[in-house]
Every structure is written in structure tokens, then in C-alpha cells.
Structure 1
Amino acid sequence: MPLQRGALAPDFQAVDLFGRPVQLAALRGRPVLLSFMRYASCPMCNLRMREMVLAHERLSREGLVVLAVFQSTAESMREFVARQDAPFALIPDPDMALYRLFQVERGWAGLLAPSNLPHAARAFAKGFGMGRIDGPIDRLPADFLIGPGGRIDLAFYARTAAEHVPLADVSAWLTTCGGENTAGPPGSPSPAC
């Protein structure tokens, strides 16, 4: 069962692409965007990474911490994702332990959805081509907005391989709610912060 809004985000310890430790609980007190990508050479994931890199300065001024997880090895990530010089933690998870912990889904319908085509075309036009596929090709992305108290304000499980929470929505969450978790019980409507 997917994680729900209002639930305490599962803690984890990992090592980022550069060998630095990352622990979710250590980020308490700050709002976090935890973004699960597909594999390191995925053109659509690299397009999303580019978008996140370009928006990072603004989002970090708003207090956001960004963590991006890939189902790839550190070696694959260095070959493909690291070229974008991301100013936030990139976490290799080739054993997919974090994907299981956050119940990130897979689905052939989401991979083959026609709505992926414009995103793929934009990715190819930006120079993000296909490479080695690490892990399940039918992996779907997921994004979690985690408030300073460690609770999930948004658990976004993509329906297609190119879908993520729009960064404008992340900014609105930071501005409107101040990154404070205002969630009621799981399944309750979003608050008017």
C-alpha cells in the first residue's frame, strides 16, 4: 500500500554519489523533496534533473532540501547524471531498498503511455540519449514532500514514466505552508494554509 499524506516518512541512512552520508531524520526541521527517479541514463529523468538543477538556487533559498534517488549504481550515475553537476544529494540505490521502503511502483502502462512521448522528445532534443538500463525498465517515478516535522505532506506516485510533481507546486507548498506539516489524518483534504 503506498505511503499516505500525514504519515511519518520512513527514516533511512544512505550514502550519496560522492560517499557522503545522508540520513532523512537528520534533516528534521527543514522541508524536503525526496524524488525517486528511474535509472541513471533515463532521458526523461535527466530532463527532470536539469529542471531541478536550474531551480535549485531558488528552492534552496526557500529552505528546501532536495534528495534524488536512482535505481542505478554509483558508476552509472557518474557516467550519466553527474554530468549535470547537481548541487544536491544524488543517491544510488541499485538494490532498490529505498524504493521498497517508500513503496515506489512499477507499471508497463505507465512506461508505454503516449503522454511520455513529448517529454522524451524534449529530453532527446536537450541531448539526453538512452544508455544502459539499470533495474526494472518499467519503474515509475515518485516524489515526496516532507515537512519539517518529518511527516509526508504529499506522496506523489507517478502514473507515467515522465510524471513528477511540478516544481511550481513545490514552491507553492513552501510558500503557502512554509514547509510546515499541516496534514490532518491520512486521506484528509489538503489544508488551506
Structure 2
Amino acid sequence: MSRLMEGERAPHFSARSFQGDVINLDNYRGKYVLLSFYRYASCPFCNLRVHESIQKYESFRANGIEMIAVFQSPDEKLAEYVGKQSLNYPIIGDPGLGIYERYGVETSWLGLLKAFLFRPHQILKSVFLRGFFPGSIENEIQRLPADFLINPHGKIEIAYYGKDIGDHIAYDTIENELRNDIIES
């Protein structure tokens, strides 16, 4: 599938989180959803972003934004790596890549290289300050992240496709979009 565009209906999915809950996108109607796609469960960049999003979650939820994360790893790897953190939102393992395909999430060898050249500070922070050491790799090592802000009507407000393996949408961008939507309402 190709990239999704802002204004399109978010593709439906229903999946079980590694925490054991059934996550059905339709059940989030009436709320904003930040749907984030990551690489594999032991990815240092990914675990740093999850760590940061755990800290943002309560503030986002208070402002009407729910969060869902998708990894290309099986549940047992999510439990082993990402599950070590104090998670407060659902994380779905999608080793068959079905949800990734619906959302047009891409891979790029150049994006893998760019992260190592232009994000050494994130590598140092994730590995040496936070202790997120790389481990097993499931699926494509060159998977790029992607983030989608889905509005209460199920349409994509923001479609953000990462340019390298550590590139996610800025939290300020999400907060500004939400403020703009509230002002326009």
C-alpha cells in the first residue's frame, strides 16, 4: 500500500496488544488517537521514544488524545524489551506486518544510515543514559517509523512518515494541531 494522506479515513484494524487487551480502532471514535509505528522491540531509538511517550501520555490523555503503538515484533519480544518500561498505553505486536501495510509504513536503507550519521546524540542517550541496548531484530532492520494523528471522526489529521529510523513526529506538532482543531470548532 502507498502512503496515506491527511483527510483520508484511517484504515481499520483490530488486534490484541501484548498486554492482552483487544484493540479495535473503531472503539476510539470520538477521541483523538496518536497511532505510532516502531521498528523491533529491542530498538534503542524506539525504546527511547516509548520512554518519552510514557511521560507524555497523561498530559495527552487529559487533552483527549489516546495513544497506541505498533511494533514489528512478536509479543514475547515486546514483553522482554519494551515491557520492562512502565507502560500506560497499548502496544501491539504485528510481526506479520498487516497493520504496517495498511498504513503504508516504509523501509529505507538510506534512512538506517542517516540515523547513525545524524542522530548520534539519540544513540548515546538511548543506550548509555537509558540502558536500551539492542538485542534481537525481528523483521526489517531498516523499517522507518510513522505516526498518525487520527481525529474523533476516524480521519487522519496528520500523516507523518519518518525520514530515518529515529524520526518521529514532534510532540509539539501534535499539541499544536489539537489546539488549532479546538479553536476552529
**TM-score above 0.5:** yes
Question: Which residue does 1:123 correspond to in 2?
Answer: 126
Contact 1:5 1:152 in 2 (8 A): yes
Q: Of Structure 1 and Structure 2, which has the larger fraction of its residues in helix?
A: 2
Counting matched residue pairs gives 181
Indicate whether 1:74 and 2:75 are aligned: yes
Question: Which residue does 1:184 correspond to in 2?
Answer: none
Q: Secondary structure at the match of 1:136?
A: coil
Structure 1: which 5+ runs fail to align?
Answer: 181-191
Give the Cα separation in 2 of the matches to 1:41 and 1:116: 18
Instruction: Kindly report structure 1 stretches of 4+ aligned residues shifted beyond 2 Å.
Output: none
Q: Secondary structure at the match of 2:8?
A: coil
Amino acid at match of 1:160: D
Question: Which residue does 1:177 correspond to in 2?
Answer: 181
Identity of aligned residues (%): 37
Cα shift at 1:168 = 1.5
Cα shift at 1:115 = 1.6
Greater Cα offset, 117-126 or 27-36: 117-126
Cα shift at 1:118 = 2.0
Question: Which residue does 2:94 correspond to in 1?
Answer: 93
Q: How does 1:32-111 map to 2 (within 5 A)?
A: 32-111=33-112
Amino acid at match of 1:164: H
Indicate whether 1:140 and 2:149 are aligned: no
TM-score by length of 2: 0.94
Amino acid at match of 1:161: I
Question: Which residue does 2:17 correspond to in 1?
Answer: 16
Give the Cα separation in 1 of the matches to 2:68 and 2:81: 17
Give the Cα separation in 1 of the matches to 2:157 and 2:56: 21
Cα shift at 1:167 = 1.0
Q: Secondary structure at the match of 2:23?
A: strand
RMSD: 1.4
Cα shift at 1:175 = 2.0
Q: Secondary structure at the match of 2:143?
A: coil
TM-score by length of 1: 0.90
Greater Cα offset, 166-175 or 61-70: 166-175
Amino acid at match of 1:82: G
